[in-house]
Amino acid sequence: MRLAGVLITITIFAVTACITPDNEQKETSSGEESEEKQASVNVPEFNADSAFHFVKKQTDFGPRVPNTKAHTKCADYLAQKMKGYADTVIVQQSKVRAYNNDILNIKNIISVFNPGKTKRILLGAHWDSRPYADHDPDKSARWEPIQGANDGASGVGVLMELARILAKNNPDLGVDIIFFDAEDYGPPESDQSSKQDTWGLGSQYWAKNPHNFGYDAHYGILLDMVGAENAQFPKERFSTYYAPDVVDKVWNIADKAGYGKYFPDKEGGTINDDHYFINKIIGIPMINIIHLNPESENGTFFKHWHTKEDTIDKISPETLKVVGAVVLNVIFRE
Ligand code: AHN
Ligand code: ZN
């Protein structure tokens, strides 16, 4: 009788351990209800090497600045890869006016998973790279474009790996992954006339012209600069203002998965990023997972932000994995 009880306990523990997503959680044997709940869902494994590969494929094109050949080629690559994973891929093309009156040919790349589901989650990242290294210590480099390995390619790389996983592990809800264009074409630092709505041109366009009529999502998550070593993602303030419940959900999941060091329970800065326009224009509560560091040279972001040093060699597969695992946990626990 007693032996049977022990065997049942061991069996239950073994089954639970097998389907626990993270090593960190396997060591947790606390009987708390929330922890048991956290462990009882089968969450697929995020492959950091694959995500890194997707980041490098983008930087190999060179800076992906709108109206350049590298931009066109990278768009083709992204759309073609996503077509291999998603149910539908829509390339939304438009012309938008930049702060300096340049007309930019933009492409938002939209990948739809489970189009029939009404409950949907929107995931986003910007795929364009900034035309100016306006924070470079070398003044002569400030009008040159950046590689944008972290600022741009990292978020897209994580979402491409998520897409690869979703193609094999169908979640019980709809997921839309949007690669927004022309996020980073805002005025250079030297231009003081800078206006808020000169950033995020692709997301502004999409929010006014969503890919289907009456589009709605339960909530959204934007990834920006998610690849630096030892990155810190404090709670960005437009996120806590517009989508406090989503912030709580995501930071709690990160903490339970053992990633509290990356997702500290602290308030960060207020960042005028793509999620701001999604919240403001189309009213979908969307948060931003973004690397914020008030102690850095630029006072806000990671060390090499908007410099020529934002290159692939600074990308940490570990950080990509942490962010990818957190988003995967969010999706599969929904
Ligand atoms: C500004 O600092 C105005 N926008 C930040 C959004 C951004 C730039 N994300 C990446 N690069
Ligand atoms: Zn930027």
Q: Quick one: which H or E segment has residue 81?
A: helix 69-83
Q: Which ligand 1 atom minimizes the distance to the CA of 151?
A: 10
- Averages of pLDDT over runs of 10 residues in the chain (334 residues) are 41 34 38 53 96 99 98 99 98 97 98 98 99 98 98 99 98 98 96 85 98 97 98 98 98 98 97 98 98 92 97 98 98 97
Residue 334's identity, in one-letter code, is E
pLDDT at 21: 37
Structure tokens at 80: 């073609």
Residue nearest to atom 4 of ligand 1 (CA): 272
Q: Is the CB of 199 under 6 A from ligand 1?
A: yes
What are the distances in angstroms from CA 51 to CA 6, 130, 193, 214, 248?
A: 42, 21, 38, 32, 26
How many Cβ atoms are within 10 Å of 11's Cβ, its own excluded? 10
pLDDT at 196: 80
What are the distances in angstroms from CA 252 to CA 179, 234, 255, 259, 334?
A: 26, 13, 5, 10, 13
pLDDT at 226: 98
Task: Give the count of alpha carbons within 13 A of 217, CB side only.
Answer: 31
pLDDT at 8: 40
257 Cα–ligand 2 center, Å: 29
User: Under a CB-based contact definition with an 8 Å cutoff, are residues 122 and 223 in contact?
Assistant: no
168 Cα–ligand 1 center, Å: 34
Q: Quick one: which H or E segment has residue 286?
A: strand 286-290
Say which ligand is closest to the CA of 274.
1
How many Cβ atoms are within 10 Å of 142's Cβ, its own excluded? 18
Classify strands 103-113 and 88-97 as parallel, antiparallel or unpaired. Answer: antiparallel
Task: Give the count of alpha carbons within 13 A of 170, CB side only.
Answer: 9
pLDDT at 193: 73
Q: Which ligand 1 atom minimizes the distance to the CA of 300?
A: 2
pLDDT at 194: 66
**What are 288's strand-pairing partners?**
222
Q: Write down the pTM of the prediction.
A: 0.89
Residue nearest to atom 6 of ligand 1 (CA): 273
User: Under a CB-based contact definition with an 8 Å cutoff, are residues 248 and 285 in contact?
Assistant: no
- The span from the CA of 239 to the CA of 292, in Å, is 13
**What are 210's strand-pairing partners?**
none
pLDDT at 39: 62
**What are 88's strand-pairing partners?**
112
Q: Is the CB of 272 under 6 A from ligand 1?
A: yes
Closest to 305 measured CA to CA, from 65, 130, 68: 130
- The span from the CA of 127 to the CA of 64, in Å, is 8
User: Under a CB-based contact definition with an 8 Å cutoff, are residues 184 and 148 in contact?
Assistant: yes
The best mutation among 179, 271, 310 to test binding of ligand 1, ranked by most ligand atoms within 8 Å of the C-beta, falls on 271
pLDDT at 59: 99
